[in-house]
């Protein structure tokens, strides 16, 4: 099976730790330090592999932090190709405060990418044979908002599908070109339309508008603890996960994208793919720091979500009857 190629243009080294209390002007002692390879596409590749899929992570990285990122990927046995850059790869950090049970996340902008480095990344993508490419994460400084247009063109030349998970100007510009699947959060969808959506029905209508305008074949809108909405050409589904005790918010969206992609590659129906994705997004928040979804949690939650569904289908509720 061809690998699911993931593209990470602004990766991170994700550090995480725990502190009793965070106070200004004080030295904060932390414990339980952990470091993981991070950034949207890299996280997607990690979860694809965890779920038994085949992934190849292409990423830009530079400096000593880039070397550490490469080592972390090797340690986790992620198939990856590094495209060297001059700038230093960013280092993010998440601190869990025990006294409040709140999580604090610190995420730098990251390095600036030159045109030469961007062209080298595109050349690396062109070399590989794939049916799906996941473009996930923020665009680094130095690249135009429509940078992903060139990724779409490369994928089109291979008759491959593009799955997009980004935000802001990059999301708006890329949707102008059109993709197979896009996964905005509710906040990102609201930013795209320039208005708040007070209920899931309003978000569903906005996603339907994007599909009907040809910006994407499938829109998956994540709603946090309220689950997700999936809108396709032939139907719309919403699924709410079971209540759980969240330990971290890191990587929930990336886990959702990874599971959705794996399910689609496996040929599952869209409602089953939604259930699998919601299970993975929910599983991710069960793990501390940047550990992401674990396969045993995903399968357990997926089984619970589809327990009342007919054989071979997910327990997602259709809000528009599929044709």
DSSP 8-59: ESS-EEEEEEEES---TTS---EEEEEEEEESHHHHHHHHHHHTT--EEEEE
How far is residue 239's CA from residue 128's CA, in Å, rounded to a whole number? 35
- Which of the two residues, 315 and 212, has the higher pLDDT score? 212
8 Å CB contact between 189 and 203: yes
316: which 2 tokens?
Answer: 């997602």
| Per-residue pLDDT, 200 | 87
Is 254 a catalytic site residue?
yes
Average pLDDT over residues 256-268: 96
- pLDDT category of residue 323 using cuts at 50, 70 and 90: very low
pLDDT the model gives residue 319 = 39
Report d(CA 268, CA 282) in Å as an integer. 19
pLDDT over 60 (residue 316): no
d(CA 208, CA 11): 31
Kindly indicate the confidence band of residue 288, based on its pLDDT and cuts at 50, 70 and 90.
low
pLDDT at 286 over 70: yes
Which strands make up the sheet holding 132-136, listed edge to edge?
80-84, 55-61, 4-8, 132-136, 161-165, 179-182, 216-222, 228-232, 235-239, 317-320
Q: Which residues contact 253 (CB under 8 A, 6 or more apart)?
A: 165, 183, 185, 222, 281
Map out the domains of the chain as residue ranges: 4-320
From 84-98, 179-193, 278-292, the region with the lowest mean pLDDT: 278-292
- For residue 145, what are the CA distances in angstroms to 39, 138, 139, 170, 217? 18, 10, 8, 4, 21
Q: Is a pLDDT exceeding 90 seen at residue 292?
A: no
Average pLDDT of span 262-282 = 94
Q: Which of 254, 271, 297, 308 is catalytic?
A: 254
pLDDT above 90 covers a percentage of the chain that reads 79
pLDDT band at 199; cut points 50, 70, 90: confident
Please give the structure tokens belonging to residue 211: 């599909």
Q: How confident is the model at residue 234 (pLDDT cuts 50, 70, 90)?
A: confident
Q: What is the mean pLDDT of residues 177-188?
A: 95
**pLDDT per residue as tens digits for the range 54-104:** 999 999 999 999 999 999 999 999 999 999 999 999 999 999 999 998 889
Q: What is the mean pLDDT of the chain?
A: 90
| pLDDT tops 90 at residue 271 | yes
**Cα 138 from Cα 175, distance rounded (Å):** 15
Superfamily of domain 4-320: Ribokinase (3.40.1190.20)
Q: Mean per-residue pLDDT for 108-127?
A: 97
Q: Identify the pLDDT of residue 264.
A: 96
Q: DSSP letter for 226, please.
A: G
Ranking 49-53, 110-114, 187-191, 280-284 by mean pLDDT, the lowest is: 280-284
**Sheet (strand 90-97) strand order:** 30-38, 12-19, 90-97, 102-106
User: Rounded to the nearest 10 degrees, what angle do helices 200-212 and 186-193 cross at?
Assistant: 60
- Cβ(139)–Cβ(10) below 8 Å: yes
Residue 273 has pLDDT above 90, yes or no: yes
Confidence check: pLDDT of 321 > 80:
no
The listed range with the strongest mean pLDDT (154-168, 222-236, 242-256) is 154-168
Q: What percent of the chain has pLDDT over 70?
A: 92
């Amino acid at each position: 099976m061809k690998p699911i190629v993931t593209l990470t243009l602004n990766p991170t080294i994700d550090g995480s730790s725990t502190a009793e209390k965070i106070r200004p002007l004080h030295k904060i002692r932390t414990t339980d330090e952990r470091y993981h390879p991070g950034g949207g596409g890299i996280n997607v590749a990690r979860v694809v592999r965890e779920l038994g899929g085949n992934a190849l992570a292409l990423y830009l990285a530079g400096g000593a932090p880039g070397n550490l990122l490469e080592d972390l990927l090797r340690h986790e046995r992620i198939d990856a190709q590094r495209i060297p850059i001059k700038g230093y790869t960013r280092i993010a950090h998440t601190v869990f405060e025990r006294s409040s049970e709140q999580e604090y996340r610190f995420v730098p902008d990251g390095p600036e990418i030159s045109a030469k480095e961007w062209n080298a990344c595109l050349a690396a993508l062109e070399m590989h044979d794939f049916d799906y490419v996941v473009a996930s994460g923020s665009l680094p400084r130095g690249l135009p908002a429509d940078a992903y247009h060139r990724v779409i063109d490369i994928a089109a030349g291979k008759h491959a599908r593009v799955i997009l998970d980004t935000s802001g100007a990059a999301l708006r510009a890329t949707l102008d070109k059109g993709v197979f699947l896009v996964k905005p959060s509710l906040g990102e969808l609201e930013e795209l339309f320039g208005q708040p959506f007070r209920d899931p029905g309003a978000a569903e209508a906005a996603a339907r508008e994007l599909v009907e305008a040809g910006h994407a074949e499938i829109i998956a809108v994540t709603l946090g603890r309220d689950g997700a909405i999936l809108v396709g050409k032939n139907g719309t589904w919403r699924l709410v996960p079971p209540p759980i005790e969240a330990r971290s918010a890191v990587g929930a969206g990336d886990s959702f994208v990874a599971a959705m992609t794996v399910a689609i590659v496996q040929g599952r129906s869209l409602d089953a793919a939604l259930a699998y994705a919601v299970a993975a997004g929910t599983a991710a928040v069960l793990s501390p720091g940047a550990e992401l979804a674990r396969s045993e949690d995903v399968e357990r939650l997926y089984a619970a979500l589809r327990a009342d569904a007919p054989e071979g289908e997910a327990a997602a509720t259709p809000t528009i009857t599929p044709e």
